[in-house]
């Protein structure tokens, strides 16, 4: 749940920039977007290199709750699989947040 997440650490594999999101509204927007997007398991992701946004979700006491990669508006990678949807993932929103936090 969004309320369980205290921070999201994001690393952009395209630019090499990393940033942390700790604003509750931004966390809620990201978590609810991912939870509400229907996905289906696709091909195996093992041995693939490269990624767009690697995300680590943290709870109380810095405990990692989950981690995965948002590669595009329609693909998430959570090894050992890729998961696909019909679009709508928060990929562009993460790019906007990167521009805000890094610059």
> CB within 8 A of 93, min separation 6: which ones?
29, 30, 33
Res. 22 pLDDT band, cuts 50 70 90: very high
Tally Cβ neighbours within 10 Å of residue 100.
11
Instruction: Supply the DSSP symbol for 11.
Output: E
> In the predicted model, is pLDDT for residue 10 greater than 90?
yes
Q: Residue 2 has which token pair? A: 């969004």
Assess contact for 55 and 68: CB atoms under 8 A: yes
Q: Residue 26 has which token pair? A: 């931004």
pTM of the model: 0.91
Higher pLDDT, 49 or 5: 5
Res. 91 pLDDT band, cuts 50 70 90: very high
pLDDT, position 48:
85
Q: Residue 48 has which token pair? A: 């693939």
């Amino acid at each position: 749940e969004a309320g369980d997440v205290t921070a999201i650490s994001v690393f952009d594999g395209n630019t090499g920039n990393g940033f942390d999101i700790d604003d509750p509204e931004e966390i809620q927007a990201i978590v609810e977007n991912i939870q509400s997007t229907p996905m289906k398991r696709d091909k195996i992701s093992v041995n693939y290199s490269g990624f767009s946004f690697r995300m680590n979700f943290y709870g109380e006491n810095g405990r990692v709750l989950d981690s995965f990669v948002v590669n595009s508006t329609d693909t998430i990678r959570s090894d050992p699989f890729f998961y696909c949807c019909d679009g709508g993932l928060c990929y562009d929103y993460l790019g906007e947040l990167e521009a805000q936090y890094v610059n």
